[in-house]
Amino acid sequence: MNQFNFIKVNKELKEKWIQYSQWSVEVNKEVIHTEDDEGFSIVAEIDGELAGIISIIYKELPPPLEKTLEVYIDNIEVRKEFRNRGVATHLMEEVLQQLPNETNNFYQIRAWSSEDRIEMLHLWRKLSFTLNPSSIFPQNKEVKGFYVSRIL
C-alpha cells in the first residue's frame, strides 16, 4: 500500500518539482501556485520521492455571477513511474480537505483536460465531475478537450 505524504508547495519546492515535470519551466511557473498567489499547490510524496502535484487557483465567475467563486485546477500531474497508484485521486481529496474554511463561498471546482489525456478523463468521471466538450485555441491552434466541473 502506498504511503502518501502531502506538502504545500513553497518557492523552493516549486523549483524542485520543475526538475521532474514533463512541462516546460515557463508553463510550470505559470500553473504552479504558492500561497503568495490566490490559491495553492500540493505535492504528493511516496517513500520520500515527489510523485505528483496539483495546483489550484481561486477565480470569480464572469458577470452576472461575479460574486460567485470557483476553485480552478490549473495543473495536476503525476510522474510516469507513480501512475496508476492513486496519486491523482489522493491529491484531489487533499485539495478538497485543504480549501479554506469558507468552502461554502466556493460554488464549484473546475478544470480543463485535452481529449488525448484518456487517463485523466477516466479520473474526472470516477470523481463525479461533469464532462463538457470544448475546444481551446492556444497560439491559434485548436485543441479539443473537456471542461470538467463538480459542485462543491
* Global confidence as pTM: 0.88
Q: So what's the pLDDT on residue 22?
A: 84
Q: So what's the pLDDT on residue 102?
A: 56
**Containing structural domain, residue 29:** 4-151
DSSP alpha helix (H) spans, 36-141:
87-98, 118-126
Inter-residue contact 50 to 74 (CB < 8 Å): no
Q: So what's the pLDDT on residue 41?
A: 93
Q: Roughly what angle, to the nearest 10 degrees, separates helices 118-126 and 87-98?
A: 50
Inter-residue contact 67 to 106 (CB < 8 Å): no
Q: So what's the pLDDT on residue 1?
A: 58
Q: So what's the pLDDT on residue 24?
A: 81
Mean pLDDT of the chain: 90
Whether the CA torsion 98, 76, 27, 81 is positive or negative: it is positive
- Flag residues of the chain having pLDDT under 70: 1-2, 101-104
Whole-angstrom distance, CA of residue 60 vs CA of residue 136: 20
Q: So what's the pLDDT on residue 51?
A: 96
Whole-angstrom distance, CA of residue 75 vs CA of residue 21: 11
Domain count, the chain: 1
Instruction: Tell me the CATH number at 13.
Output: 3.40.630.30
